[in-house]
Amino acid sequence: MTDFATSPSTTTGQRLRAAGSAVASLPFAYAATLILLIAAYFMRPALLSPMLLLLIARQAAPLGLAAIGQSLCMRVLSIDLSIGGVIVGVSYILTGGLLPFSDPVLMLIAIAFGVAVGLLNAFFITRLRASSVIVTLAVTLIITGVAVAFSQLRSPGDAPEMLRQVSRLKIGIVPVALLIWLAVLIPIAVFLRMSVFGRYIDAIGANPRAAWVSGIPYVRVVTVVHVMSSLFAVFSGFLLIGFVGVGSMDLGRDLALNSLAAVILGGVTFGSGKGGVLGPTVAALMLTFSFNLLTSLGLGEPAKLMLQGLIIGVAAAAYSIQRKT
């Protein structure tokens, strides 16, 4: 007698349904990336050449680094809107000429500045229980205001030669900036998956009060997360300054919102790290590719902003539907 419960057709159907469920549960960034690649194939096939794809990936590196830090903050039910301010501060430290030090020393000062901003954010958020949105927004406004005030006395100059070389260097056809992104991304992904710290982040995101009661060092974990986010913003600023070649008070202005978009599209929401590190990475590449596609079609900044808002809205709707089903 044939056992229909274990027949080949039944097994195949179960596997297809399981595969379909797995695909449907992927972050929105994956489907959006596929759609954009198909659109580019018909409208601007030149964008799909290996050389241009690598250049687009290089452009995405600063956003990808910022998105790593932003995703960590969101996983512990926080947020970091000070990314843009940190980058502006780093830009002026490196190019303002106020500090009479060599470029390597200025870079170390910029890193220390990022650590200080992260500690300041974490202090207000963890010790004073202030809103992370308000705190980090206020910090970025203060930093930007101070940098702009100093820039009126002494305008930003050229970027350090070291950073400009990094922006130009390639190993074969692969930009060094892309390799730097990967060199940061892969260890962070492994560390979060394998370490106790990564489990602490998940526990805090799931239930902060229960994590506190169970003895998890909530204050320490959130502090480290915000310091890491500020450091990733510093490294992102290094790459941006190297790409542009000169200091600017507008540098990284939209990176905080774009990093939020990349994190959400990559499947990371407040208290949930479902998208891991790979999801925001794919989303950063997708957003950068979409901006390049729009530019190649002759559409400007307004179209980019509208597309970004549309993508985020569709992603939010998709996640809402997934939670209800």
Residue 108 one-letter amino acid: L
Helix H segments across 195-270? 196-206, 208-213, 218-244, 255-265
What per-residue confidence (pLDDT) applies to 322? 56
How many angstroms separate the CA atoms of 263 and 270, rounded? Answer: 10
What per-residue confidence (pLDDT) applies to 289? 92
**pLDDT string in tens for the chain (325-residue length):** 445 445 555 676 656 555 555 555 677 788 888 998 999 999 989 889 999 999 999 999 999 999 999 999 999 999 999 999 999 999 999 998 888 889 999 999 999 999 999 999 999 999 999 999 999 999 999 999 999 999 888 888 888 889 999 888 999 889 999 999 999 999 999 999 999 999 999 999 888 888 888 888 999 999 999 999 999 999 999 999 999 888 888 888 888 888 988 898 888 877 777 778 888 999 999 999 988 888 888 776 777 777 767 766 766 665 565 555 5
What Å distances lie between residue 293 and 38, 41, 57, 322, CA to CA? 12, 11, 13, 29
How many angstroms separate the CA atoms of 69 and 259, rounded? Answer: 9
Query: Encoding tokens for residue 88?
Result: 């502006």
How many angstroms separate the CA atoms of 97 and 156, rounded? Answer: 7
Rg (CA), the chain: 21
Sequence-distant (≥ 6) Cβ neighbours of residue 317 within 8 angstroms: none
Instruction: Give me the CATH code for the 27-39+51-320 domain, please.
Output: 1.10.3470
Q: Backbone phi, then psi, for 272, in 5-degree steps?
A: -135, 130
CB of 121 closer than 8 Å to CB of 57: no
CB of 294 closer than 8 Å to CB of 307: yes
Interhelix angle 50-75/196-206, nearest 10 degrees: 60
Domain boundary assignment for the chain: 27-39+51-320
Query: Encoding tokens for residue 164?
Result: 């400009």
CB of 279 closer than 8 Å to CB of 289: no
What is the C-alpha end-to-end distance of the chain, expressed in Å?
38
What per-residue confidence (pLDDT) applies to 4? 46
Helix H segments across 76-207? 83-95, 103-122, 132-153, 161-168, 176-194, 196-206
How many angstroms separate the CA atoms of 280 and 65, rounded? Answer: 10
Sequence-distant (≥ 6) Cβ neighbours of residue 271 within 8 angstroms: 74, 75, 76, 77, 205, 206
